Structure 1
Amino acid sequence: MAALAQPDNDTFMWFYEGADAIDRKTVDLIQAAGQRIWIKGPDALISPLLPELQAACERGVQVIIIGFGTGIQDLKRHPDMQVLPHEGDATVSRGATDVMLTMTTDFDGVLISTRVPGLAPSASYARNRSIIYVVQTLLLHEIYLAEMLTSMGDEIEGRFGKGLARLRKKYRPPGMEKHVLEGS
């Protein structure tokens, strides 16, 4: 029982509310990164972070961005920064993905922030190794998918539809993004 009463320092989830608190935590994580930063989100949420991401590249940190939006081509600010278009063309929008930023730094932390118009910006941060592993695996699969769609997009879309529409129809639950977009 004593072990249950004293959790390890990495078992907690922290919650941030408000743009200033989220921005401060995001920048702190980028500045502290020593090996890698993987980040996924719309260009509008990534653009304000570009000076810090560029500085991370200059420190030798691997920076991989999975981005979408019309300004994705403007995200690459350093020769070592890798920018991959989400799902091969960066134009796919799913509602919730337009307002979410997901970032992992090294193997130390994961931050997921949401900025829904009309709702207070919020974010969750975790240092739990299992949570970090799951999110990094999801981002790694996003990287794989972006690479595959960039090189084999016509063939994949021929089989599964534009934006993988047939797969989405088969597997995606209706209203999946509702809780994010409505804050419920």
Structure 2
Amino acid sequence: MKVDMIEILKDLNFTEYEAKTYLALLEKSPLSGYAISLHSGVPRSKIYEVLGGLVERGEVMVSHENPALYTPLPPNELINLKKCKAETSFEVAEDALEQYSYVALNRENIWNITGYEPILNRTKEAIKQATGRILLEIWNEDVEKISEELEAAAKRGVEILIVSYGNLVLDFAQVYQHDASEEITNEYGGRWIVLSVDDREVVAGIVSLGEDSRAAWTMHPGLVMPITEVIIHDLYIYEILKKHRDTLESSFGPNLIKLRNRFKSGPSGYSVAAKLGLIK
């Protein structure tokens, strides 16, 4: 049976003109563009465009003389090049499709998570998905549980900004210590975690109630946007205090405690912490 080399090369994503050009060069090379056109049957008006594509893909090599001469990549090297490109394309497609499916499946849902360990496990998985930026509010005693995932994300080039409750030092993240950490801890008697990944996915909830800890995980834009803005707002406050602390504290007390006291309870005086069951 006669082997149709043009069709074989077309199966390797060559156009018909590219296949004719490559085969002409296998038969005789190096050749000028004009000579390749004569030997391959590719029109002179098209040959340099065809050669440019083959050179750009690394399937044909060109000399820097006048006129330029062309020679083909040896068949075994061509096949290895095609295999490597195909494998890379499959890997990229697999990752992209998995991510697309992950987002599409969860975009409209709000999932409830119960228990300290399940909440942290969900947090870890969200961090593993990060590609651009992680915003996080967390207490010192909880961050060590997810530090491995955070560091791995930083090594991938992900920007990590953390609002910490307590004196936290991480060399792979930008850490902003909340000025009212002690007051908040005393006021609530509990801890929470708020995570935003790539402004696309959030985990937020109370983590200090053991098996009764509660959190929500979602990609719903109606929650992702405001929760992300809550963390960004705290970063604003940190930067404003750093620049204008004396002026602000003269009006609102140390660490703006007068503002906290003003808004920490509702009209009835019943505190948010009590409503959440963090204090009795």
TM-score by length of 1: 0.82
**Correspondence for 1:93:** 184
Rg bigger for which structure?
Answer: 2
Q: What does 1:111-126 align with in structure 2 at a 5 Å threshold?
A: 111-117=203-209, 120-126=212-218
SS in 1 for 2:145: helix
TM-score by length of 2: 0.56
1:140 equivalent in alignment to 2:232: yes
More strand by share: 1
**Correspondence for 1:167:** 259
**Correspondence for 2:273:** 177
Pick aligned residue for 2:142 from 45, 68, 91: 45
Which whole-Å CA distance do the structure 2 matches of 1:112 and 1:121 have between them? 11
Q: What does 1:35-114 align with in structure 2 at a 5 Å threshold?
A: 35-69=132-166, 71-72=167-168, 74=169, 76-78=170-172, 81-87=173-179, 90-94=181-185, 95-96=187-188, 98-114=190-206
1:18 equivalent in alignment to 2:109: no
SS in 2 for 1:152: helix
Which whole-Å CA distance do the structure 1 matches of 2:112 and 2:130 have between them? 20
Post-superposition Cα deviations, 1:145-177, rounded to whole Å, max 9, x if no partner, equal 011122322221111112312222333323112
Please give the root-mean-square deviation of Cα atoms over the aligned residues, in Å.
2.3
Q: Percent identity?
A: 21
Moved segments of 4+, more than 3 Å? 89-92, 94-98, 181-184
Which whole-Å CA distance do the structure 1 matches of 2:198 and 2:155 have between them? 16
SS in 1 for 2:212: coil
More helix by share: 2
Structure 1 unaligned regions, length at least 5: 1-7
Structure 2 unaligned regions, length at least 5: 1-104
Q: 1:103 to 1:160 in 2, by over 3 A?
A: same
How many residues are paired up?
171
